[in-house]
Amino acid sequence: MVRFFSVVLFLLIGAAWTPVDAGVESKRTKPWRALHLLDYSSDSELDALGQNLENLSKLGVNVIILEVDYNFAFKSYPKLRRGTNPITHNGARRFAALCKKFDIRLIPEFQSLGHQSWKEETFPLLTVYPAFDITPGAFPNNQGIYCREWDPLNPDVLRVVFKLMDEIIDAFRADAFHVGMDEIFLLGSELSPSTKGKDAGVLFAKAVNDIYAHLVRKRHLEMLMWGDRLIDGKKYDLGEWEASMNGTAAAIHLIPKDIIVCPWHYELRENYPSIPMFIEKGFRVLPAGWNKVDATKALIDYSRQHAGQNLLGHLFTTWGVKKEALVDFPPLVEGLKLLQDKRRPSGPVGT
C-alpha cells in the first residue's frame, strides 16, 4: 500500500508540472463581475431569475456561477435527482439562452467531494450509494459532522459523478464548470476506512486532478474551484474555515496551474494574503466576498493592488439572500460601483 501511494504521489507531481497552455485559456478577457447563486432548483425558479438578468447585466454582472448540484432531472441516474421538480434539460437551455442574450457567461457548479449533506439531509449520491461515503456508517443522522464527503479513492464514485456533470454541462451549454471542493475535513480521518492515516494533501490533489482530467483534458472546459483547502492555515492566520488546518494545503503543489481558484474571504481584514499567494504560484484568481459591504470593499481594494492577467475580477456570493432582494443586495450594488472606478485597475491587464 505504501508503494502504491508513492506511485500516486509521483503521478500527482507530474500533473502539477503540466504547462498551463496544455489546458484551456480563459474565454473572457474583460474583468469578471461574477455572481454566485444557490437555491434556483427548478425551471420556474430559473425562469424567474431570467427576468432579473437584464437588471443584473445593467449593474455590471457578466458571469453567473449557478450551483446546480443534484437539482437536475438526470437521465443517466434518475434516482440521483433531488426534489420533486428539478431543473430540466429544456429549462437549462432556456436560461442559458437568456444569459447569452445579455452577454452573461453561465458557469454551472456541482459540489464535489465535500458538501454531500446539509444538516440532517444526506444528498442523493450517498443516499443511493452509501458505499461511496468516506466515513460509511459513522455520524448517524449526520450528528457531529459538518457535511458528508464522498470517497476519492473509490473509482466507482467518479464513474457516476462524471455522467451527472456531463448532463449539466450539455444542458447549460457550458464552457466552464465550478467543482466546489471547499470545507473538506474528513480526508485521513480515523473514521475513514479508505483514507485513514494517509496524506490529506495527496488525497485532495488526487480528487482535484481526477476531476481536472475529465473536465479540462477530455471536455476542454475551464475548471473553477474554491480556494480555502489550498491555503495553509498554519502559515496564514485565517482560521479552519477560510484556510486548511488538516494538511490539504500541500495539494497546491500537486495540481495544474490553469485551474481558476476562488478564495473566499467574508470578514474585514487589513490584508488577504491568499490573493498574492495564488497569483505568485501561477493560478488565475477570482476572489469572493459575501454579505458585509465593508469587507467586500476591502477585499476588492486589496485585490486590485495585485491587478494583472491572473487576477480575473471579483465574485459576489449570495448565501441566504432572498431572491426578491437579489438586485438590491448591498455588497453587490456597492461592490460593482467600486469595481467601475477607473482610477485603479480591477482586472486583467489590457481590458
CATH number at residue 9: 3.20.20.80
For residues 25 and 336, which has the higher predicted lDDT (pLDDT)? 336
List, for residues 146-173, the tens digit of each pLDDT value: 999 999 999 999 999 999 999 999 999 9
pLDDT at position 7 is 39
The three three-digit cell numbers of residue 205, written as one number: 490533489
Angle between the N-to-C axes of helices 155-171 and 89-101, in degrees from 0 to 180, rounded to the nearest 10? 50
- Whether the per-residue pLDDT at 349 is higher than 70: the answer is no
Is residue 25 situated within a structural domain? no
Is residue 108 situated within a structural domain? yes
Confidence of residue 341 (pLDDT cuts 50, 70, 90): confident
List, for residues 91-128, the tens digit of each pLDDT value: 999 999 999 999 999 999 999 999 999 999 999 999 99
Count of CB atoms situated within 10 Å of the CB of 42: 18
Is residue 288 situated within a structural domain? yes
Contact residues for 331 (Cβ-Cβ < 8 A; gap 6+):
289, 290, 291, 292, 293, 296, 316
- Whether the per-residue pLDDT at 221 is higher than 50: the answer is yes
Is residue 349 situated within a structural domain? no
Is residue 181 situated within a structural domain? yes
Range of the domain at 297: 2-18+32-339
List, for residues 12-46, the tens digit of each pLDDT value: 444 443 434 444 445 557 999 999 999 999 999 99
- Whether the per-residue pLDDT at 1 is higher than 90: the answer is no
Count of domains forming the chain = 1
Is residue 348 situated within a structural domain? no
Nearest-5° angle of CA 34, CA 327, CA 228?
Answer: 35
Please compute the mean of the pLDDT values over residues 246-275 and round it to a whole number: 97
Is residue 241 situated within a structural domain? yes
DSSP β-ladder status, 117-118 and 121-122 = antiparallel
Is residue 186 situated within a structural domain? yes
Contact residues for 262 (Cβ-Cβ < 8 A; gap 6+):
178, 224, 225, 226, 227, 285, 286, 287, 288, 315
Please compute the mean of the pLDDT values over residues 216-236 and round it to a whole number: 97
